[in-house]
């Protein structure tokens, strides 16, 4: 079976039928119908531009706008009926339905000087702009949850890690805000992506420009774009904004994945620092005692999905010749899926963090005196010993404690004096985790004041333009 090509919008020069499989292979409505609202927006703006040129009368403009609004309503209410023999994409579907509503004579004027090449570029940018604004709000929600949790857990101390080995004591709030700091950077980077997405390609035709002198600045203003794409050849082929979104999302997902990895580890019995709420956990089909942090594992897994989309689409772009090529249809599905995935992951991670049960006693129990070895070195620095020497002295103290099978805090003053005569009775004050944490009071440190300053910075960022 085959579809008669002449019935398709582009079929005027064709006499033969198009193969059914080719029609299905070529169509994109199954996924680009997500752009239905944006396509109507762009068409209404274009109709207004044609009216300014007197290519549409006021009455024709009103009929087109009214018809397009009905089309949008049908999509929104789930009443739009797709013609499987002619609707290749969202553009042809909307134009076909508009013709049914207001008549093909008037509806047919809407495409004057316009190409689907510019339509899809415009639709994708309009859709992406709205979606990125939503993602920015979701990220602010995650950051606010981090700030709220950091405030409520401010007194809790835990081991800080490097190489996944216990290193120095830090506040749990500081650990959480460390992850929030990466998300802050993602939010700031998103602003640049949003700026470049907001560039209007409408009015450039198929590749060479509009022959009727349509006012592209008007189209940009009408659609809320901040700039106009400056080259018609580039405008229809430009999917750099898709690449940027995919790459930006990849880095965000890396950060969400690393946060998830920490929480997965911390929720194990071996750590026991946190417990993920039942709402974000699943069980085992065999072992009734199991409670799995599948929400976090899925975020960790979906990071690879998003990163793969970025790499895959770059491979599609790398050898394309000038202007529009149908390969660019491959930009739509990765973009749609990426945005959906990131949106879901942000919602889930906010829920996980907001409902997280924190076991401060377990974290405190994991603190060991050897984590204060650097504080011992700092003690001697204040007595005038060069740090390189104090580092070796502190290392000798750790070795001595291992030999005696005690913690460094349990060594006697005599033991310490054997290593360095500069140790005095006040060295006992060093072996205090709270004191160690509070000494780190510079900007970005783990002291109470420094952590509170970090919280204030996050809240200021979240409150900005909210």
- Region at 248 (left for phi over 0; alpha for psi -120 to 50; beta for the rest): alpha
pLDDT, residue 284, reads 74
Q: Return the percentage of the chain with pLDDT > 90, whole number.
A: 90
Q: Tens of pLDDT along 265-311? A: 999 999 999 999 999 998 777 787 788 999 999 999 999 999 999 99
pLDDT, residue 437, reads 98
12-16, 109-113, 434-438: least confidently modelled range: 12-16
Cβ-based burial of 349 (10 A; exposed 0-12, middle 13-18, buried ≥19): buried
pLDDT above 80 (res 5)? no
CA–chain centroid gap for 197, Å, is 15
pLDDT, residue 23, reads 82
Lookup: tokens for 111: 């495409």
pLDDT, residue 14, reads 55
pLDDT above 80 (res 15)? no
**Contacts for 342 with CB less than 8 Å, ≥ 6 apart:** 135, 249, 252, 253, 306
Helix, strand, coil % in the chain, rounded to nearest 5: 65, 5, 25
- Region at 272 (left for phi over 0; alpha for psi -120 to 50; beta for the rest): left
pLDDT, residue 24, reads 84
The per-residue pLDDT of the chain, averaged, comes to 94
108-112, 116-120, 391-395, 448-452: least confidently modelled range: 391-395
CA-wise closest residue to 212 among 345, 396, 54? 54
Per DSSP (E only), the strands in 192-276 are: 199-200, 227-228, 274-275
Q: How far apart are CA 257 and CA 261, in angstroms?
A: 6
Q: Tens of pLDDT along 328-342? A: 999 999 999 999 999
pLDDT above 80 (res 456)? yes
pLDDT above 90 (res 125)? yes
Query: Span 155-182, mean pLDDT?
Result: 97
Of the residues 104, 227, 284, 311, only one is catalytic, namely: 284
pLDDT above 70 (res 385)? yes
pLDDT above 90 (res 368)? yes
Of the residues 163, 285, 465, 466, only one is catalytic, namely: 163
Active site residue 449: no
pLDDT, residue 6, reads 46
Lookup: tokens for 280: 């974000």
Query: Span 59-67, mean pLDDT?
Result: 98
Q: Return the percentage of the chain with pLDDT > 70, whole number.
A: 96
**Contacts for 65 with CB less than 8 Å, ≥ 6 apart:** 44, 47
Q: Which segments of 77-115 does DSSP mark as H helices, in order?
A: 90-102, 104-107
Active site residue 284: yes
Instruction: Evaluate whether 216 touches 144 at the Cβ level (below 8 Å).
Output: no
pTM of the model: 0.92
pLDDT, residue 11, reads 53
pLDDT confidence bin for 237, thresholds 50/70/90: very high
Domains in the chain: ranges and CATH: 2-112 (1.10.275.10), 117-365 (1.20.200.10), 369-431 (1.10.40.30)
């Amino acid at each position: 079976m085959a579809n008669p090509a002449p019935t398709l919008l582009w079929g005027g020069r064709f006499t033969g039928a198009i193969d059914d499989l080719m029609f299905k292979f070529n169509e994109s409505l199954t996924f680009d119908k997500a752009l239905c609202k944006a396509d109507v927006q762009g068409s209404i703006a274009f109709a207004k531009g044609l009216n300014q040129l007197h290519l549409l009368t006021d009455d024709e403009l009103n009929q087109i706008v009214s018809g397009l609004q009905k089309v949008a309503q049908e999509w929104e209410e789930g009443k739009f009926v797709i013609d499987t023999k002619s609707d290749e994409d969202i553009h042809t579907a909307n134009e076909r339905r508009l013709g049914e509503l207001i008549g093909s004579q008037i509806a047919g004027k809407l495409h004057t000087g316009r190409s689907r090449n510019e339509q899809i570029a415009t639709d994708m940018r309009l859709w992406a702009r709205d979606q990125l604004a939503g993602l920015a709000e979701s990220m602010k929600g995650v950051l606010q949850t981090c700030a709220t949790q950091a405030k409520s857990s401010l007194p809790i101390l835990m081991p800080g890690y490097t190489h996944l080995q216990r290193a120095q004591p830090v506040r749990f709030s500081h650990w959480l805000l460390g992850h929030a700091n990466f998300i802050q950077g993602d939010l700031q980077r998103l602003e640049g992506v949003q700026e470049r997405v907001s560039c209007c390609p409408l009015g450039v035709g198929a590749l060479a420009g509009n022959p009727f002198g349509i006012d592209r600045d008007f189209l940009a203003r009408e659609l809320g774009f901040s700039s106009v794409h400056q080259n018609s050849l580039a405008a229809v082929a430009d999917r750099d904004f898709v690449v940027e979104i995919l790459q930006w999302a990849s880095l965000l997902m890396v950060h969400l994945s690393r946060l998830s990895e920490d929480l997965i580890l911390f929720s194990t019995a071996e750590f026991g620092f946190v417990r993920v709420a039942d709402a974000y956990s699943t069980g085992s089909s065999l072992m009734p005692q199991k409670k799995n942090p599948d929400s976090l594992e899925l975020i960790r897994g979906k990071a690879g999905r998003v990163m793969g989309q970025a790499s895959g689409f770059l491979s599609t772009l790398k050898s394309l010749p000038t202007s529009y090529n149908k390969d660019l249809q491959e930009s739509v599905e990765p973009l749609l899926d990426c945005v959906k995935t990131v949106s879901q992951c942000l919602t889930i991670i906010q829920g996980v963090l907001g409902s997280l049960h924190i076991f401060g006693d377990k974290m405190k129990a994991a603190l060991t005196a050897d984590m204060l070895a650097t504080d011992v070195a700092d003690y001697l620095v204040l007595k005038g010993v060069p740090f390189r020497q104090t580092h070796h002295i502190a290392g000798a103290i750790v070795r001595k404690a291992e030999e005696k099978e005690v913690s460094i805090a349990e060594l006697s003053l005599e033991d310490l004096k054997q290593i360095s005569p500069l140790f005095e009775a006040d060295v006992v004050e060093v072996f205090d985790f709270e004191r160690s944490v509070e000494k780190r009071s510079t900007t970005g440190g783990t002291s109470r004041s420094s952590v509170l300053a970090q919280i204030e910075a996050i809240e200021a960022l979240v409150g900005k333009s909210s």
